[in-house]
């Protein structure tokens, strides 16, 4: 099992709680690369890329349409060049880090911290390996319609519009790092596939990411029956 080409993995990290008190953590990974060419490592340019990705992520997180919630904070971005083996390349390369200032989301949180609205990354491959990827960015303030339990079309559209600006900025920064590079769906099954992302899709359901509640033990309430 290998990846098709050398590429960049970005990891966007955040937490729940307050600006200074971390109650639980979340993270999202996005890969940048090309379908048929390896992305050549350049430490200085990778730092510039990570800085740009951090700025774009902070803007997306704080956008009114994203509705991440004011108790949900984006903390920063890390990036590394990944080889076909899934390990860092070149040997000895370090993770590049940017951001140390927690940035709060918008909107009053009404959903549990494990809630996320999926951004589906669509490629030109209609189905199977490399056809789509998923990004689960927190959405604690995303309201649902009481009569359907689903997100309204207008709310969903606003979140997608904010996401488009975020991914357009990532593609621009990736192209500056190494010409032709953009957000990809990378599969390491078989010989591997790197497929450029051509569109974003989201639906009106709220997803659950249970690992975002790992640091919070459940508190049980019990009542005796007569």
182 part of a folded domain: yes
Residue 196 placed within a domain: yes
| CB distance 2 to 189 below 8 Å | no
Cβ 72 vs Cβ 58: under 8 Å:
no
Task: Please determine, for residue 100, whether its predicted confidence score (pLDDT) is greater than 80.
Answer: no
CA 7 and chain centroid, separation: 16
In a domain, 223, yes or no: no
Is the pLDDT confidence value at 216 over 80? no
DSSP label of 41? P
Range of the domain at 17: 7-213
Q: Rounded to two decimals, what is the model's pTM?
A: 0.92
Question: 90 falls in which pLDDT band (50, 70, 90)?
Answer: confident
> Could you tell me if residue 2 is inside a domain?
no
Choice between 216 and 69, residue whose per-residue pLDDT is larger: 69
Q: Please report which confidence band the pLDDT of residue 214 belongs to, taking 50, 70 and 90 as the band edges.
A: low
57 alpha-carbon distance from chain centroid: 9
At residue 170, the pLDDT reads 98
**Domains held by the chain: number:** 1
Residue 208 has what pLDDT?
A: 84
Answer yes or no: is pLDDT of 210 > 80. no
pLDDT at res. 219: 84
Q: Does residue 133 fall inside a structural domain?
A: yes
Residues with Cβ within 8 Å of 6's Cβ and at least 6 positions away in sequence, in order, are 33, 38, 39, 40, 41, 81, 82, 83, 84, 89
Peptide bond preceding 121 in cis form (omega within 30 of 0): no
Nearest CA to 151 out of 138, 167, 139 is that of 139
């Amino acid at each position: 099992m290998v990846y098709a080409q050398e590429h960049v993995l970005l990891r966007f990290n955040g937490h729940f709680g307050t600006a200074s008190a971390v109650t639980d953590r979340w993270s999202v990974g996005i890969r940048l690369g090309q379908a048929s060419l390896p992305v050549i490592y350049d430490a200085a340019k990778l730092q510039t890329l990570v800085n740009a990705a951090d700025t774009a992520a902070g803007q997306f997180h704080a956008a009114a349409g994203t509705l991440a919630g004011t108790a949900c904070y984006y903390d920063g971005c890390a990036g590394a060049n990944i080889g076909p083996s899934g390990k860092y390349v070149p040997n000895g390369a370090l993770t590049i880090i940017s951001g140390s200032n927690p940035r709060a989301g918008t909107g009053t949180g009404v959903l549990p911290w494990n809630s996320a609205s999926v951004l589906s990354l669509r490629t030109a491959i209609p189905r199977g390996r490399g056809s789509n990827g998923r990004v689960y960015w927190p959405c604690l303030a995303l309201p649902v319609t009481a009569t359907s339990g689903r997100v309204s079309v207008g709310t969903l559209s606003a979140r997608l519009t904010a996401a488009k600006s975020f991914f357009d900025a990532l593609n621009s920064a990736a192209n500056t790092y190494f010409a032709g590079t953009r957000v990809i769906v990378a599969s390491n099954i078989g010989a591997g596939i790197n497929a450029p992302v051509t569109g974003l899709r989201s639906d009106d359901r709220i997803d659950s990411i249970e690992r975002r509640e790992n640091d919070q033990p459940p508190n049980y309430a019990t009542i005796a029956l007569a």
